[in-house]
Amino acid sequence: MNNVESKSESEESDGSVTTVAKSVLSGFFDELTKVEGLAEIVPKLRKVVLDDGVFAEPAIRAALFPDSDAP
């Protein structure tokens, strides 16, 4: 049983494990890119959520509305 745990830990440190949430969100962003008018926004939103791992409202709002004057 120790071998399984150490293998899992080493995969996580490599970053080779894809979580269910990341898979679902990635699919969601793929579908959003097909929606007219969202093609420019989705790459920014994908970066904030999937690459940076940020779920805070100000970061999401900045990705969705880049021209707005956020406080």
pLDDT in tens, the chain (71 residues): 444 444 445 444 445 567 898 999 999 999 999 999 888 899 999 999 999 988 899 999 998 888 876 55
pLDDT recorded at residue 5: 47
- Give the rounded distance of the alpha carbon of 50 from its chain centre: 2
Q: Can you give the pTM of this predicted structure?
A: 0.64
CA distances from 56 to 12, 45, 53, 61, 71 (A): 24, 12, 9, 9, 14
pLDDT recorded at residue 7: 47
pLDDT recorded at residue 11: 46
Listed in sequence order, the residues at least 6 apart from 60 whose beta carbon sits closer than 8 Å to its beta carbon are: 45, 48, 49, 54
Contact 65, 54 (CB under 8 A): no
